[in-house]
């Protein structure tokens, strides 16, 4: 029975860590329609939903996240080394330079959190499948009663832990589902804004080119942050 208790305790600890990261991610999602792209003046209606991407294996996803995290860290380092907010062309609100840096920092955090949580989410999935299989295959105790007090206490503790795990798991999935709905809306807005910013850059002339280029890059960055957030939440929901 000690093995059974430890079998449940470890997934519960992993679940708590994953839930903490997830909660922070969902709380950071905007609850209103305004975005950095809108303050840049490149808003548009939501774009049509895209077909879902092919599902990656945990190994493929881990490799992709490592590459994206490295690229995001390099981008942030380059931005800071080049002078950060000082690189923003004249004619744009000064505070937008700081918000661009905040987007880069958020992108690094999202990729880091997704990568950190991936192994724990896979562990949770495998643990739940094992527990479900054990419940289906269980045919009773090998020996008839009476049972010792120690055995009954161990069994009671295991049941309580299992229930706590299932309740926490259900809460985490519900939180992820809510976050996915909000993140999908954010992705649609950010993707549409990035498309308009690209079009605006193509028609810009003279001094407007540098501003349009900066707006385009910022809009694309916001779209990447939104997409990375949605991917993280989707992984949690589909665990």
Provide the domain count of the chain.
Answer: 1
Residues lower than pLDDT 70 in the chain: 1-54, 239
pLDDT of residue 51: 41
Give the structural domain span for 102: 2-23+56-134+149-237
* 183 belongs to a structural domain: yes
* 31 belongs to a structural domain: no
* 40 belongs to a structural domain: no
Report how far apart, in Å, the C-alpha atoms of 73 and of each of 36, 109, 159, 176 are: 21, 10, 44, 26
* 158 belongs to a structural domain: yes
Instruction: Kindly report, residue by residue over 21-79, the tens digit of the pLDDT.
Output: 666 666 666 644 345 545 555 544 444 444 445 678 889 999 999 999 999 999 999 99
User: Global pTM?
Assistant: 0.75
pLDDT of residue 45: 44
pLDDT of residue 15: 62
Contact 21, 28 (CB under 8 A): no
* 28 belongs to a structural domain: no
* 106 belongs to a structural domain: yes
pLDDT of residue 16: 62
pLDDT of residue 222: 94
């Amino acid at each position: 029975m000690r093995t059974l208790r430890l079998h449940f305790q470890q997934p519960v600890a992993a679940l708590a860590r994953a839930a903490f990261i997830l909660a922070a991610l969902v709380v950071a999602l905007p609850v209103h329609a305004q975005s950095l792209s809108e303050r840049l003046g490149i808003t548009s209606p939501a774009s049509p939903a895209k077909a879902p991407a092919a599902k990656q294996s945990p190994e493929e996803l881990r490799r992709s996240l490592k590459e994206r995290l490295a690229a995001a860290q390099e981008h942030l380092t380059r931005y800071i080394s080049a002078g950060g907010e000082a690189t923003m062309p004249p004619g744009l609100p000064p505070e937008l330079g700081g918000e661009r840096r905040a987007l880069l920092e958020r992108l690094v955090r999202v990729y880091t959190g997704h990568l950190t949580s991936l192994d724990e989410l896979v562990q949770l999935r495998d643990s739940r499948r094992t527990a479900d299989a054990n419940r289906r295959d269980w045919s009773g105790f090998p020996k008839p009663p009476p049972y010792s007090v120690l055995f009954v206490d161990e069994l009671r503790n295991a049941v309580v832990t299992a229930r706590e795990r299932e309740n926490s798991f259900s809460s985490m999935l519900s939180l992820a589902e809510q976050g996915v709905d909000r993140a999908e809306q954010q992705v649609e807005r950010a993707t549409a804004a990035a498309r308009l910013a690209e079009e605006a850059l193509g028609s810009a002339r003279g001094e407007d080119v540098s501003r349009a280029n900066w707006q385009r890059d910022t809009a694309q960055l916001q779209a990447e942050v939104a997409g990375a957030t949605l991917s993280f939440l989707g992984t949690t929901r589909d665990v």
